[in-house]
Structure 1
């Protein structure tokens, strides 16, 4: 680009000395110093002869004294080396066993409140807890405590994912389960990985993708194989039974539910706080599957499970159980009893905020 510095000086009728004087006056105002007049004459000659680039500070002075814009003077500012700013040092964290234990304890406390109150009441708290652990893991130094924190992240994200699912947020539920699966892989915990993958299948179930859900649970079971505790092995079998019930496969569902009963341990596994499964819970699960299949025999299992559960102890679980009872009574033709359980389920769903169960209740109440 050709500049018009020579033409601008002729328009003003200025000599080089007059231009230098004007440049010095402008530089003084900006607290700048210019080199000697002899040096300035050489610069001006080079600028006007187009054989020397002009630095940004001289462009500013020339525009000021000529009262023109850089565009009007035809000036191309000399390339200035960019200032490279050093990036801030990431907030690396050094985890210890005590901190990881606190994270697990907080997850467990949230889990207990979730069982009583439902996910809607505490989802924001759970989500913030997940975000906090995820940040710690992201910047944690390598080592055993990072893996332990990743295990804590997997459990917390799976809990938050289930709450999001119960609230009707399929997209967020899927993303949280993706976090849970990824964290479980980093931790190397086969139990948490199998649990997170199988629970993620419920997002597919609620989306109507029943075959894909069964496939995902089957893959989780195959990957877990014999490397997970018996309580989780039973839980995975029961989950597969539910997926088969959604597919309408009665014989297959009952077969794997029987297998779940066979492998279920006599006592709860304290190492798996996220797995709630005993004889009463398995009876409720079996009743759920039978109710979905339209089997009136579900009533006995579900009634026994309700009595064992105790009213008001497990809010969301009781909602689901009463919906299943309503389905079973409707299948038997007892609409009065069906509506009774549906109305009670609706009351509890209002307290727990379960959008998932409300969809099922709506169909029952209008039937």
Structure 2
């Protein structure tokens, strides 16, 4: 399939000279060939669908603020082969799950999760959905057993991840469908933690749909039902999610109380191997608090957000950094610091182009237009 570089330049309304300027800026201290040489390269890329090297692919992504997949200069990563799961001793219509199959599913979910945290959903969404469909297909024909329940837990986790990716891409309808699948799988698994997490995360679909009251009710119910049946790190996560829903409603005091409750519950060692889908340490909670304050238009968010950004490390977590920088842009704007606000918004836009986050692009567009 031809690349979309000519289309991208046309949409940006750039001349070749403007593109060359942006490429040089993206290259920073790295020397590039002469303008004439670069113009010839651009002509080959755009008119002859010429191959783009890894070096220039990164520069083009930075210049256009889009991912290589969006520009048509990289393929979507190939899916791994299906996991063999059928027992030949049974009729083909049935599946006998075992610990080995469940472990393979779990490992694959974790691999996708780690890629998603670094690269965002644009490069991994199709792979995640294929994984969800694979587990769902296995469960539909699986004989009852404890291994089936364990596989259902994996389905719930994978579907919740895919649902979040769909939400990040701006597809609210698909995000809701996948979260419905996640909560149904969690109920079958009998895992209170998985059900509470998927249910509360589904509240974010309602937040993006503009139904903050319904979102708050759903998240609060998930937290109340979890009560003491889940590890403290997840309970802290649920309180923080409730705080964000309150911030969306403009209820500052309630939001801060919920975030304080989350901080009180957060254990010193917040890593729980039984909850690979929960990332919540002190730095993450500071980012969450800063996000809520920024959402409330409170300039005090800056301290928490800068602390979280320094702890995160630039470029380590693509989608998380985009959201954090958008929050910083909002917080600086609330304080009247237009320069810093615009700087963080532009950096967020660059990262959002790489991760393919439609959700964050909408927030950035509103900021840059202000």
Where on the TM-score scale, by shorter chain, does this alignment land: which range? 0.7 to 0.9
Equivalence map 1:250-289=2 (5 Å): 250-267=252-269, 268-289=271-292
How far apart in 2 are the matches of 1:256 and 1:156? 28
Pair 1:162 & 2:164 matched = yes
Pair 1:147 & 2:126 matched = no
Pair 1:354 & 2:368 matched = no
Pair 1:130 & 2:132 matched = yes
Q: Do 1:90 and 1:139's aligned partners in 2 also have CA atoms closer than 8 Å?
A: no
How far apart in 2 are the matches of 1:222 and 1:288? 23
Count of equivalent residues: 279
How far apart in 2 are the matches of 1:364 and 1:245? 19
Q: 2:314 corresponds to which residue?
A: 311
How far apart in 1 are the matches of 2:149 and 2:297? 45
Q: Do 1:287 and 1:324's aligned partners in 2 also have CA atoms closer than 8 Å?
A: yes
Runs of 5+ consecutive residues of structure 2 not aligned to the other structure: 1-90
Equivalence map 1:30-49=2 (5 Å): none
Pair 1:345 & 2:340 matched = no
Equivalence map 1:1-367=2 (5 Å): 91-267=93-269, 268-367=271-370
How far apart in 1 are the matches of 2:344 and 2:367? 10
Query: Following TM superposition, by how much is the alpha carbon of 1:189 offset from its aligned partner in structure 2, in angstroms?
Result: 0.2
How far apart in 1 are the matches of 2:284 and 2:92? 46
Runs of 4+ with >4 A deviation: none
Q: Do 1:217 and 1:236's aligned partners in 2 also have CA atoms closer than 8 Å?
A: yes
Which protein shows a greater Rg? 1
Q: Do 1:201 and 1:213's aligned partners in 2 also have CA atoms closer than 8 Å?
A: yes
Q: Work out which structure has the larger RCO, using CA pairs closer than 8 Å and 6 or more positions apart in sequence.
A: 2
Q: Do 1:290 and 1:297's aligned partners in 2 also have CA atoms closer than 8 Å?
A: yes
How far apart in 2 are the matches of 1:91 and 1:305? 51
Provide Cα deviations, 1:149-202, integer angstroms capped at 9, x if missing partner: 000100000000000000011011000000000000000000000000000000
How far apart in 2 are the matches of 1:102 and 1:355? 31
How far apart in 2 are the matches of 1:90 and 1:365? 57
SS at match of 1:102: helix
Provide Cα deviations, 1:94-146, integer angstroms capped at 9, x if missing partner: 00001101101000000000001000111000000000000001110001010
How far apart in 1 are the matches of 2:238 and 2:119? 25
Q: TM-score, normalised by structure 2?
A: 0.75
